[in-house]
Amino acid sequence: MNRKGARATISDVAKAAQTGKTSVSRYLNGELQVLSADLKQRIEHAIAALDYRPSQMARGLKRGRTRLIGLIIADITNPYSVDVLSGIEAACRAQGFTLLVCNTNNEVDQEQHYLQLLSSYQVEGIVVNAVGMREEALGRLQQSLLPMVLIDRKIPDFACDVIGLNNTEAATVATRHLIDQGYRALLFLSEPLGLVNTRQERLEAFVSCARDRHDLITESAEVALTDADQLEQVLLDFYQRHRGEPAAVLVANGALTLQAARALRRLGLNWGEEIGLLGFDELEWAELAGVGITTLKQPTWQIGYAALEQVIRRIEGDNAPVSEQVFSGELIVRGSTTTR
């Protein structure tokens, strides 16, 4: 090793192999044809002996390519996000990139903070599963020309590649299923719509399905994920006003489905019997909850994988106009919409 306890550098290797740094560098970068067999041997040997590994820091500094991708996730405890992360991770591995994961905890401030941070680490691209972003930040990102793709939801007035679910199609499939099963009073339950296109699109499709069907009653409600009481209230109210007819709830995402199921449980309402229940996002425990919960499963892993592929395309210079890539969901029917 070298005099200090520190890590071996390219110079140490060069010295040990009795050559210059240039040749070592070439060896590392695969320009093997240019080196004599003997020299190759010596370098290989020296590297092994010193347990040398090139510093990605210095390399990035010099070349301007860090092979780093930043991922900003709003809520790491959300299974949807984790599955997506898993897909992104796989794609990174396949393409030789390393992922810098940042969890914003649903705080807009953190989102800002991490955007800065990632940029200061010279990431080559960013994937965002956002809560919402302030406009200054967006301006900066655009002018910095950092390749970026959004997952799941768009950001208003921000031209950017988006990868996500075909919300209209999926919500239509879900709603039709409920109608086909004979439900006549339908409640669309969502977190506050805000400017979240995902929620809006799902709601719109839901409403569209029921248009011109005067035998149907459709309603919608927005509740905060954290407000258990309000949720209980909304569900109870809906149920009581439609005692006579088959009623069902369509929940806009997995996290809310969990809360809704808890609320129904507390109210003593059994899904599949007193009330229908269908939730967006597959849940690993869906079959274990009572008679099972019907879900609309998203191809989350593929969404993540595709997102990373898109960023890389941009990194490699693709200048095509902003694209939107949507995937189809899959309805998984269980007891909560079939048992009556």
Partner DNA sequence: CTGTTAGCGCGTTCAC
Partner DNA sequence: GTGAACGCGCTAACAG
Run of H or E residues at 102: strand 98-103
Establish if 278 lies at the interface with a copy of itself (CB under 8 A).
Answer: no
Q: How many residues bind a copy of itself (CB under 8 A)?
A: 50
Q: Which one, 146 or 248, has the nearer CB to a copy of itself?
A: 146
* Residue of 27, 80, 83, 151 that binds a copy of itself (CB under 8 A): 83
Q: Is 143 exposed, middle or buried (0-12, 13-18, 19+ CB in 10 A)?
A: exposed
| DSSP states of 6-41 | S---HHHHHHHTTS-HHHHHHHHTT-GGGS-HHHHH
- Give CA–CA dist 255/295, Å, rounded: 12
- Residue 36 binds: one of DNA, a copy of itself, none (C-beta under 5 to 8 A by kind): DNA
20 binds, among a copy of itself, DNA, none (CB under 5 to 8 A by kind): DNA
Give the ranges where 98-166 is alpha helix by DSSP (H).
Answer: 108-120, 135-144
151 binds, among a copy of itself, DNA, none (CB under 5 to 8 A by kind): none
Would you call 279 helix, strand, or coil by DSSP?
strand
Q: Which spans of this chain sit near DNA (rule: CB under 7 A)?
A: 6-7, 9-11, 18-23, 25-26, 28-29, 33-36, 38-39, 54-55, 58-59, 61-63
CA distance linking residue 216 with residue 210, whole number of Å? 7
First to last CA, the chain: 74
Applying CB under 8 A, among 34, 61, 94, 333 the residue interacting with a copy of itself is 61
Of positions 17, 102, 151, 278, contacts a copy of itself by CB under 8 A: 102
Residues that bind a copy of itself (CB under 8 A): 5, 7, 51, 53-58, 60-61, 66, 76-77, 82-83, 85-86, 89-90, 93, 98-103, 105, 110, 116-117, 119-122, 140, 143-145, 258, 261-262, 265, 283-285, 287-290
